[in-house]
Structures are given as structure tokens and as C-alpha cells.
Amino acid sequence: MRERDRAGLCQNLDDEMRPFRQAAGKKDPTPKLLRNVRMALGITAAEMAAKLDCCPALVYRLERSEAQASITLKSMDRMARAMGCVVIYGIVPMGGKTLENIAQYRMWKKSLKLKSQNFRRSIDKRAASKLAQVRPGRGELIRMRRSG
């Protein structure tokens, strides 16, 4: 991906995810979200079960799995739609950073690593050339013994 395209993508995602970044700053931004939304809407577990064509025990189990962060997106979406809602999820950097911050940091680390590798290579080349000057090659050593 070109640098310009990547930067534009980062900017668009950062703009779209701003509310999520703010929520991510909280310790537990959405505890028991399915249960709380269901209760706020005044929907009983029995009503949810009827809409989902399942038993109320499954509604409670799905709410528990969401609270334990083990629910699937598909199940969460089914529950949300049964309440007349949609699931919108986001992936945001930790610590209130933006995607652009992380991308720039990664590029900086990568450039440092490349500079370090290039520096090591140049040191190795210099050391090898100095070593060749100090120590004669194997062929020269044999010739030196024969002539001496």
C-alpha cells in the first residue's frame, strides 16, 4: 500500500473511531451491554426468547457469555437485532493513541532497525577488509612458508 493511501486510511479510521477511543479510555466501557440494553428497553428475557425462537435460559446464557467476553459476533448481532438495534464494534489503539501514531512509531522503529543493520554491515565489511590486510590469505600463507 502506498504511503499516501495508508495515511488517508489511518485518518479516516481515526475519525470514525474517535468515540470508541474515548470509550476505550474507561476501565470497563461496556459491562453487560446486552443485558443493560435489554433492560433499558423494557424487554423481558421471555420476550427476547420468543423473538430469537429459543428459551429464556439461552438469553441469559448469551448475556453471561457477553459479560465474560466469550460471545460470538454472530450471537451478539442476533440479540441486538431482536431488540431493534445493531452491533457496531471497533478496534482502537490502547492509551488513547491514534492509528496514525502507531503507524508512525512502527515506521520509526523499522527505520532504526534498518539503519542499525546497515551500520552493522558496514562495520563487518570494514572489519573484514582490515582482517584481510592484517592476515594474509591461506594461499599467501602457504607461499610464505615455501619461500621462507
One domain for residues 83 and 107: no
* Domain's final residue, options 75, 90, 105: 90
Whether residue 26 is contained in a domain is answered as yes
Q: Does 135 fall in a domain?
A: yes
103 and 45 both lie in a single domain: no
Give the Cα separation of 77 and 111 in Å (integer): 42
pLDDT reported for residue 76: 95
Please tell me the predicted confidence (pLDDT) of residue 100.
85
Q: Which of 44, 75, 90 is the last residue of a domain?
A: 90
- Rounded distance between C-alpha atoms, residue 63 and residue 36, angstroms: 9
pLDDT at residue number 144 = 46
Total number of domains in the chain: 2
| Predicted TM-score (pTM) above 0.85 | no
Instruction: Flag whether 1 is in a domain.
Output: no
Cα separation, 26 vs 94, in Å, equals 11
Domain boundary among 70, 90, 110: 90
Q: Which three cell numbers stand for residue 60?
A: 441469559
CATH number (domain holding residue 52):
1.10.260
Per-residue pLDDT, 120? 72
Report how far residue 55's alpha carbon sits from residue 94's, in angstroms, rounded to the nearest whole number.
38
Q: Is residue 76 part of a domain?
A: yes
**Is 53 domain-assigned?**
yes
Is residue 3 situated within a structural domain? no
Structural domain containing residue 143: 95-147
Q: Determine the Cα angle at 141 with ends 137 and 144, to 5°.
A: 135
In a domain, 8, yes or no: no
In a domain, 9, yes or no: no
pLDDT value at position 142? 47
| 81, 101: one domain | no
Instruction: Give the cell for residue 108.
Output: 520509526
Q: What is the mean pLDDT of each run of 10 residues along the chain (148 residues)?
A: 79 84 74 92 96 95 93 95 91 81 83 74 67 54 48
Helical spans, DSSP H, in the chain: 3-16, 18-24, 33-40, 45-52, 56-67, 73-82, 99-134, 138-147
Closest CA to 62 of 41, 80, 47, 39: 80
pLDDT at 143: 46
